[in-house]
Structure 1
Amino acid sequence: MTVALITGANKGIGYETARQLLELGHTVYIGARDVERGEKAAATLGARFVQLDVTDDASVAGALVTIGSAEGVLDVLVHNAGILADGPVDGPAALRAFDTNAVGMVRVTEAALPLLHKSSKAVVVTVSSSMGSFWAVTNPDRPEFGIPLALYAASKAAATMLTVQYSKSQPDITFNALEPGATATDMTAAYGIGRPVEESARTVVRLATLGPDGPTGTFQDENGVLPW
C-alpha cells in the first residue's frame, strides 16, 4: 500500500488530491498547520493527520518522525502548501512568500528523503504555477501576462527550479512540478476565477501515481510538458 503525504491539505487542491488518492487505495497523511482544521479534514476523508507547518523546522521534522514511526516509508510527497502573497511588495512579504512557497519545499523534502529512499517507487510532486514561467508571463496571449503577482511568481519559479534540481541530485526518486490550472479555491476567491478543484487535482494525482519509468524533472499541466 502506497503511503502519501500532502502538505497544506486541509482544503482546496490538497484536500481533493487526498480524496482522490484515498479512492485509489493509498494511505494518505494530511499535513496542515492548524490542528483543528487538519484533524477535521482527515476525519471527514478517512485520512491520517500530521501537524505540519512548512515554515517551521521542528514541525516538519516532527511530522516526518510521526510518519516514519507509523509507516517506515514514504512513497509519495506532494508539495501543495502555498500562499498567494498578493499584498504590498516589501522585504518581509518577500521572505514570507519564499519561506512558504520555496524554502518550505526544501525543509519538507530534506526531512522526507530518508523515508522516500526506502520506497521502491518514490514520487515527489510540486504544485507550482505557470506564473513562475518566463515563457508564460512574457506571452501577451497568456493570462499570466497581465497578473501582477511578483512575489508569488518569483517564488513559484524557485519552486519549479528546486524540483528540477532535486530530480538531478536524487535520480532514484521521481520529481515533477505542475501548473494545476486556475482553480476555485480560497486563494483565488478574490479574483472570482477558477474551475472545480476536482479537475485540477487530477493532474496532481496523475503525477503522484507515475510508475518508476515515468518522466522526471518536468513542469507539466494536464496536457503535458510546459515550457518555462
Structure 2
Amino acid sequence: MILEDIRIDQGGRPLLSLDARIAPGEVLTLMGPSGVGKSTLLAYLAGFLAPAFTGQGRVLLNDSDLTRLPAEARQLGLLFQDPLLFPHLSVGGNLAFGMPRKESLNASGKGSRKETRRARHEKIEAALEEIGMAGFADRDPTTLSGGQRSRVALMRVLLSKPCAMLLDEPFSKLDASLRQEMRSLVFTRVQRLGLPALMVTHDAADAKAAGGPVIELGAQP
C-alpha cells in the first residue's frame, strides 16, 4: 500500500502530512500525542473523513487509487479500540455479517440456499476454532469476556477478505494480561495473509510487537 503525498487540514490549518509505503505483511506504526491526527488519517484512508477536515493525496493499493472509490468499495479491514460487536446478533451472526455474500456460492455462481447456509456455517465454525472459541457460534456477544470479544471482532474483519488493515489503538482497552495475546493474534495473521497494515497507537510496546517501521508524529505548533 502506498500513501502518496497525504495532507490533512483542519479548518485550513495543516494537521498532518505523510508519504509512506507498506509492504505486504508489514505493519507501519504511527505514534504521537492525542490531537496530532492519527485517527483522522485512518478516517481519510477509509473514506469517512469528518466534514471538519479536508484531505488530499492518493492511497494506492493493488494498482487502484482508493481515494476514487466509496468507503464500502475500498476493501480495508478496520479494527478499533472497542470490538463493536452487534448486540442483536449472535457470535456466529457477527462473523457472518463480515463474509462476502457470494463467497459460499459454487464456481458457476449458483448454489441452493441450503448449500449456502451450510458452507457459511462451516466457515464460521472453522474461524471460531482458529481463535480458540469452538462452539461459541450461538452465544450472545454480551456474555463474552473482553478478550473473546476482541478475537471475534478480529475474525469478523478477516472474514470480510480485506486487502489491507487499519488498526486504531486496537489493544488500548484490553487488560495487560490480554494485550500480548491479542498482539500476537493480530500481527501473526497480518503477516500470514500478506496484508499491509497501518496502526496508530500511544503504546511503544504495540510498535515493538508489530516489528515494522515506526513514524513519530509530533504535535503541530
TM-score bin (small chain): 0.3 to 0.5
TM-score scaled to structure 2, two decimals?
A: 0.33
More helix by share: 1
Does 1 or 2 have the higher relative contact order (CA < 8 Å, sep 6+)?
2
- Larger strand share, 1 or 2: 2
Report which of the two structures shows the higher radius of gyration computed on alpha carbons: 2
